[in-house]
Structure 1
Amino acid sequence: MKSTKLALAVLFLWSLASSSQEVQLTKKDSIVKSSWMVSLGINIVDDSGDEFGNLFDIKDGWHAVPFPSRISVGRYFDNGLGLEAIGTYNKYKEGKIVDNVVNPADVDYFGLDFRISYDLNMILGEMGFFDPYIGIGAGYTDANNQGRGTYNAVLGFRTWFSDHWGLDFNTTGKWAMDTENASNHIQHAVGVAYRFDVKKGLSRKGEEKLALLQEMEKEQQRVQDSIAAKQKADEEARLLAERLEREKEAARLAAEKAKKDAEDARRAKIENEVRNLGRVYFKLNSSYLSIADKKVLDKLVGILENSPSLAIEVSAHTDSRGTDKYNQWLSEKRAKRTVEYIISKGISEERIKYDAFGETRLTNECDDDTPCPEKKHSENRRSAFKILSNK
């Protein structure tokens, strides 16, 4: 009977341990609770007189300037509320519709607004990087040479790439306090947002996970305390054996990684050496190697000698002067002469491939229809190197 109870206790403890491994707090369970935020972006004003009936009259009714025109500063609290101050500048463009008439000349637009916003995630539940909000407020706007106080309502969302950086998209309706002398209008905005003095906490899901983990820990402790000393010793011995096995496996993986890293470093070093060699450049209508060219090839030979598994391809080219047929023939001579020099230094021809492209792969604009100085033409008369195998 005692052995049966002990077996059941051990089975129950194992079940709890497996469940606790599945339920773990992660970064996704941690959210920003409060912060300061500044944003900088652009704003678009629709003051056509029918802005609420024709929201997307972009061509005739939307006004924007081609530079940052909106800045905001806000303080956001863990209860979902935010207090914000926003300054905007814009320009009503000549020829567009303003208050149902064609605007006769460019007119500056200035706005200073204050609002209270509310994070809809407090109602909808945390949606990760998507952060919708609503808000109300008031402000002062000087538009179309008319100053007016406004009542404001905003709908927007922010999308966060990290705890600090994100984008802010919003649309604000502005209703003039003096409706007889000033019109209502809409203001759209998008900007880069930066949060600082960030304070984080657990989301609802994270709090539920934490409570579950705490309950599971208590239950595990209760079951563990009921296990006999001998069973505890056997369990410790088993855990010790597992730990040693994990350490052995970790040591094996570390050794394999070190070996791979060393091999990757060796390959990278060889690739970098080949890349830094530069190219062989030929004189006009010539396939002969200069002293400088041979020095470059000697360095390549040294790399090949030190790396027996390295195989390369030599590609030869000409400038655009001359016929296509002649240039193809000349590039083949250049390729062969380059390869022959390398082979003459004791490198197996099986490790050297070559191809000739004539004037088909110019490195600049100097084609048959573009006059160029000799210096630019000389950049195309070359042999280049590419690694085919670097095991």
Structure 2
Amino acid sequence: MNTSKPALAVLVCFFALTISAQDIQMTKKDSIVQSYWLVSLGTNMVDDSGHEFSRLFDIENAWNMVPYPSRISVGRYFKNGLGLEAIGSYNKYKEGKIIDRAINPEDVDYFGLDFRVSYDLNMILGETGFFDPYIGIGAGYTDANNQGRGTYNATLGFRTWFSDHWGLDFNTTGKWAMSIDNATNHIQHALGVAYRFEVEKGLSRKGLEKLALLEEMEKEQQRVQDSIAKAEEEARLLAERLQREKEAAELAAAEKAKKAAEDARRAALQNKINDLGNVYFRLNSSYLTTKDKELLDELVAIMESEPGLNIRITAHTDSRGTHTYNQWLSERRAERTVEYVISKGIFEERIEHEAFGETQLVNDCKDGVRCTEEQHSKNRRSEFLIIKM
């Protein structure tokens, strides 16, 4: 079956879409963690030198920390990028460090309890892989340098994830005292191991775009497949119609050839019967002569060789005598002819007969026309016509 040019175009389009869909596959990078519970454990470093950001990296003189885990947090993060977190921390202001712009004379404990609302910057920046930056604001209570104070907090940090559950958390929090006199603002840095659970994942913005593209390509592939199926169905129906037309044409040709052969055979057989001649009767007679019987014997021989052959015997008279008489006479001639053929073993149902009297003359010898006896004799006849083969 030949494929039409439109069908080929559809196939080319289908294979192109298939290749493109294979090139644009969803991967792990297209999914992000959208909501989870988070627990982190680590250490914290406090800079309460009183110099705000001027001694931000003066680790030796301004940073205070203890040599063991000193910070724990528990939080819940949601699909909209917001997170709620509670943080507890302990530290110790070391003797000799700068605290509130003065040298600290002795070790002093530090306690902090903070609550924070965070926002995942990847919601704005787009998925950045293992790098997960965030900002946060909140409030808390800090007891530092023997002074308790409420604080307003602002945090900048990031987490880096090694798997869907484990990662590291780095952040820096500025803490501003609410209204306590002589209590300075301070900065708290933190580093910890983060573990998240009840993780619910979804698609990143790029993943959603890719999914939308894949869905559109899938629809287009389906449309192309439907077009291919339609084209194949149309081609199948066309092939079936052409096959039916071909078979019908072949059948018609075969029927025509068969009919032509039958007509030719019938014509040849009719010519053979015609070659026998007619049975000619004497004036006012319906009896068969020896010559007539010999002719009918030849007719019987033909019918015996053609078992499917049925004939009609028609009998006629000349125009002399009345119409009624001539009709009766022609019927007698037909009956005697049929009786002879049947007597030779031909079944009666294979022979029909019909009498026409003087109604079918073979010449102009009708009433009132003078004709010779020979001319009249040609009308006194029985003829043989094939009616079935």
Decide: shared fold, TM above 0.5.
yes
Identity of aligned residues (%): 75
Cα distance change on mapping 1:228 and 1:119 into 2, 3 Å: closer
Deviation readout 1:215-270 (Å, 9 max, x if unpaired): 111111111122258959xxxxxxxxxxxxxxxxxxxxxxxxxxxxxxxxxxxxxx
Post-superposition offset of 1:157: 0.3
Cα distance change on mapping 1:175 and 1:3 into 2, 3 Å: same
State how far apart, in whole Å, the 2-side matches of 1:228 and 1:187 are: 68
Deviation readout 1:14-65 (Å, 9 max, x if unpaired): 1100100001111111110000000000000000110311101111110000
User: Which residue in the other structure is 2:195 paired with?
Assistant: 194
Secondary structure, counterpart of 1:226 in structure 2 = helix
Structure number with larger C-alpha Rg: 2
State how far apart, in whole Å, the 2-side matches of 1:225 and 1:166 are: 48
State how far apart, in whole Å, the 1-side matches of 2:157 and 2:59 are: 19
User: Which residue in the other structure is 1:214 paired with?
Assistant: 215
Deviation readout 1:340-374 (Å, 9 max, x if unpaired): xxxxxxxxxxxxxxxxxxxxxxxxxxxxxxxxxxx
Deviation readout 1:46-94 (Å, 9 max, x if unpaired): 0011031110111111000000000000000000100000000000000
Deviation readout 1:317-343 (Å, 9 max, x if unpaired): xxxxxxxxxxxxxxxxxxxxxxxxxxx
State how far apart, in whole Å, the 2-side matches of 1:38 and 1:139 are: 19
State how far apart, in whole Å, the 1-side matches of 2:66 and 2:49 are: 17
User: Which residue in the other structure is 1:154 paired with?
Assistant: 155
1:38 aligns with 2:39: yes
Deviation readout 1:121-171 (Å, 9 max, x if unpaired): 111111011000001100000000110110000000000001100000000
User: Which residue in the other structure is 1:165 paired with?
Assistant: 166
Matches within 5 A, 1:252-291: none
Matches within 5 A, 1:30-69: 30-69=31-70
Secondary structure, counterpart of 1:183 in structure 2 = coil
Post-superposition offset of 1:213: 1.0
Q: Which amino acid aligns with 1:135?
A: G
State how far apart, in whole Å, the 2-side matches of 1:230 and 1:50 are: 80
User: Which residue in the other structure is 1:254 paired with?
Assistant: none
Asked if structure 1 preserves the Cα contact closer than 8 Å seen for 2:7 and 2:231, the reply is no
User: Which residue in the other structure is 1:331 paired with?
Assistant: none
State how far apart, in whole Å, the 1-side matches of 2:173 and 2:196 are: 22
User: Which residue in the other structure is 1:24 paired with?
Assistant: 25
Secondary structure, counterpart of 1:78 in structure 2 = coil
Post-superposition offset of 1:172: 0.2
User: Which residue in the other structure is 1:85 paired with?
Assistant: 86
**Gapped regions of structure 1 (runs ≥ 5):** 233-391
- Cα RMSD after superposing both structures: 1.8
State how far apart, in whole Å, the 1-side matches of 2:219 and 2:53 are: 59
TM-score by length of 2: 0.58
Asked if structure 1 preserves the Cα contact closer than 8 Å seen for 2:130 and 2:161, the reply is yes
State how far apart, in whole Å, the 1-side matches of 2:88 and 2:21 are: 50
Cα distance change on mapping 1:86 and 1:6 into 2, 3 Å: same
Q: Which amino acid aligns with 1:149?
A: G
State how far apart, in whole Å, the 1-side matches of 2:98 and 2:230 are: 87
Q: Number of matched residues?
A: 233
**Gapped regions of structure 2 (runs ≥ 5):** 234-389
Matches within 5 A, 1:364-383: none
State how far apart, in whole Å, the 1-side matches of 2:28 and 2:48 are: 44
